[in-house]
Amino acid sequence: MSFLERYRTPVIVLLSVLILIGVAVLLYRQMSSPHSEEITILPPSPQIYIYIEGEVVNPGAYTLLTGDHVADAVEAASGFTPDADRSSVNLAATLRDGEQIHIFKLSDIPQKININTAEAWLLESLPGIGEILAQRIVDYRIANGYFQSIEDLTNVPDIGPAVFDKVKDKIAVR
């Protein structure tokens, strides 16, 4: 008699027990592991909040949509006053959340260059800023976003304290 014929019943019982233990362990692991939860990622809010002041009919805080322009903010504030210097504001500039816009009077033309919006040719008019540094400022702004303070200009490569001291009274961030 062969080994399997002789021990058939104990082998079948042993295999059945092993299968039952395996199923029990699998069920235990499934029951004890944390259940996965569905994660919902919401798109960013389509709304932005801005503040417009100066020579507009109704200065104040307004809720606009992402992608709106300065012209939309002026319209939300019921338009310009008769004394507004319309040429001192870029109506086509895209707004960003939390932005503050100031519309100047005709007699109060700004004397400082906004380093967040100025093109390279305008930045070149600043003392100590040539063509290469002006382009670096624009490139830095594109790569890192708007400057939060005028001191952030020193983060631009090759703009150190000496250059900053020459321009600090001639620049602004708005």
pTM of the model: 0.44
- What are the pLDDT tens digits along the chain (174 aa)? 577 677 888 888 888 999 999 999 888 887 776 666 777 887 777 899 999 999 999 999 999 999 999 999 999 999 999 988 887 788 888 898 999 998 888 876 557 889 998 888 889 888 889 899 999 999 999 999 999 999 999 999 999 999 999 998 889 887
The top-level CATH class assigned to 42-109 is: alpha beta
Token digits of residue 80: 């310009």
As annotated, the residues of the chain forming the CATH 3.10.20 domain(s) are 42-109
63 secondary structure, DSSP code? E
Can you name the residues that pair with 47 across neighbouring β-strands?
65
Chain center to CA of 40: 21
The whole-angstrom separation of Cα 59 and Cα 107 is 19
Q: Rounded to the nearest 5 degrees, what angle is found at the Cα of 116, between the Cα atoms of 59 and 168?
A: 100
Fold of 111-174: DNA polymerase; domain 1 (1.10.150)
Could you tell me what percentage of the chain is helix, strand and coil, using 3-state DSSP and rounding each to the nearest 5?
40, 15, 45
> What is 10-26 written as a DSSP string?
HHHHHHHHHHHHHHHHH
As annotated, the residues of the chain forming the CATH 1.10.150.320 domain(s) are 111-174
